[in-house]
């Protein structure tokens, strides 16, 4: 048995388990999670080693050394053996403890807890031949989410070009001198002792503008110049601090930039299907958006595009 008790005065978020350890509340981890999932929770080990989390083995509270030894001994992903004695191996991009879902909609970005009630993945001609841009948002701060692949279906197309990008939310700002924020030409905002803008958005709010930069498979993340903690009781960010060395977890953007291009200017003719088939998946960070852009031409008329995504998440409804 492994019980964890937060003895600090701050809420501790365990991202792999997707739970918050509330101060002075004991949580029985092994009654809720498989040891193979707990084994991935590096934040737990880190907080135990710092003395912020006490581990109980079901009999007594353990010291730091004993707790780390218990976690080390317990955290073994079991091998699965077939009746004939063969090792069974299953490759999947889906993280342990998460569900597979096919969705034709995004989430409502104004509701932290909403799942699947956002914009439908439907695009269609509206009589104008100007470029069309559509945004899709997912609520991931309380419901970590990975996208594996997408299927796009189109009809009556006549040379329209489709581009799908991953972009950040942006903040409202104004030019000013001597501020704590400096906006680079790219649109990235960094801490400064002699900045050039004021941020008008409230960064404490859910959609205030803090963009979470997820770690890659190599456990590294892009340089991130701010850090913050999410308070699930108040539903807002607290302890927002600058990280001028780029060792934070969040960034702030004053201009919309392309962080990752999924589909690059694919020309569509007639009716068809695009299946992005992938054995990999990528995690969506907080305040990351999916932007779909349709470039039209003088022959564009009555086209229709719909889509669906394969996602992995804890809460599916």
Q: Are 30 and 7 in contact (CB under 8 A)?
A: no
Stretch among 58-62, 111-115, 145-149 having the lowest mean pLDDT? 58-62
Closest CA to 71 of 97, 96, 48: 48
Residue 174 tokens read as: 């104004």
Tens-place pLDDT, residues 123-136: 888 888 888 899 99
Confidence of residue 180 (pLDDT cuts 50, 70, 90): very high
- Alpha carbon 68 to its chain centroid, in Å, reads 29
Backbone angles phi, psi at 17, to 5 degrees: -80, -15
- Give the whole-angstrom CA distance, residue 191 versus residue 144: 28
Q: Is the pLDDT of residue 177 over 90?
A: yes
Can you give the pLDDT at residue 76?
Answer: 43
pTM: 0.72
Mean pLDDT of 257-273: 93
Q: Are 30 and 75 in contact (CB under 8 A)?
A: no
Closest CA to 6 of 43, 38, 39, 59: 43
280 vs 105, 118, 240, 283, CA distance in Å? 21, 25, 33, 10
Domain ranges of the chain: 3-74, 99-168+258-313, 173-253
Residue 96 tokens read as: 């342990």
Residues 6+ apart with CB under 8 A from 92: none
- Give the whole-angstrom CA distance, residue 142 versus residue 122: 26
Q: Helices then strands (H, E): number in the chain?
A: 3, 21
Confidence of residue 75 (pLDDT cuts 50, 70, 90): very low
Question: Rounded to the nearest 10 degrees, how much is the dihedral formed by the CA atoms of 126, 131, 132, 137?
Answer: 180
Can you give the pLDDT at residue 201?
Answer: 96
Can you give the pLDDT at residue 88?
Answer: 64
CATH topology for 99-168+258-313 is Jelly Rolls (2.60.120)
Can you give the pLDDT at residue 89?
Answer: 64
**Residue 43: strand, helix, or coil:** helix
- Give the whole-angstrom CA distance, residue 131 versus residue 136: 17
Backbone angles phi, psi at 151, to 5 degrees: -125, 130
Can you give the pLDDT at residue 174?
Answer: 96
């Amino acid at each position: 048995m492994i019980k964890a008790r937060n003895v600090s005065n701050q809420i501790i978020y365990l991202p792999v388990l997707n739970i918050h350890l509330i101060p002075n509340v004991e949580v029985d981890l092994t009654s809720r999670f498989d040891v193979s999932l707990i084994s991935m929770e590096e934040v737990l080990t880190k907080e135990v080693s710092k003395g912020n989390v006490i581990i109980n083995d079901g009999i007594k509270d353990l010291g730091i050394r004993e707790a780390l030894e218990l976690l080390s001994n317990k955290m073994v992903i079991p091998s699965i053996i077939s009746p004939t004695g063969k090792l069974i191996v299953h490759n999947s991009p889906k993280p342990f403890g998460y569900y597979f879902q096919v969705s034709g909609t995004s989430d409502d970005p104004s509701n932290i807890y909403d799942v699947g009630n956002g914009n439908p993945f439907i695009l269609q001609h509206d009589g104008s031949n100007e470029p069309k841009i559509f945004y899709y948002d997912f609520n991931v701060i309380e419901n970590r989410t990975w996208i594996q692949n997408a299927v796009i279906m189109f009809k009556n197309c006549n040379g329209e070009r489709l581009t799908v990008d991953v972009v950040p939310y942006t903040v409202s700002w104004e030019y000013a001198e001597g501020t704590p924020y400096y906006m680079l030409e790219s649109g990235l905002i960094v801490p400064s002792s002699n900045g050039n803008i004021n941020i008008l958005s409230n960064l404490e709010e859910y959609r205030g503008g803090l963009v979470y930069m997820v770690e890659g498979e190599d456990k590294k993340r892009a340089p991130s110049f701010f850090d913050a903690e999410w308070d699930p009781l108040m539903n807002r960010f607290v302890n927002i601090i600058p990280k001028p060395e780029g060792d934070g977890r969040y960034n702030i953007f004053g201009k919309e930039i392309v962080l990752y291009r999924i589909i690059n200017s694919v020309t569509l003719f007639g009716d068809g299907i695009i299946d992005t088939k992938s054995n990999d998946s990528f995690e969506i960070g907080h305040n990351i958006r999916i932007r779909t852009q349709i470039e039209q031409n003088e022959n564009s008329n009555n086209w229709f595009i719909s889509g669906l995504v394969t996602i992995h998440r804890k809460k599916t409804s």
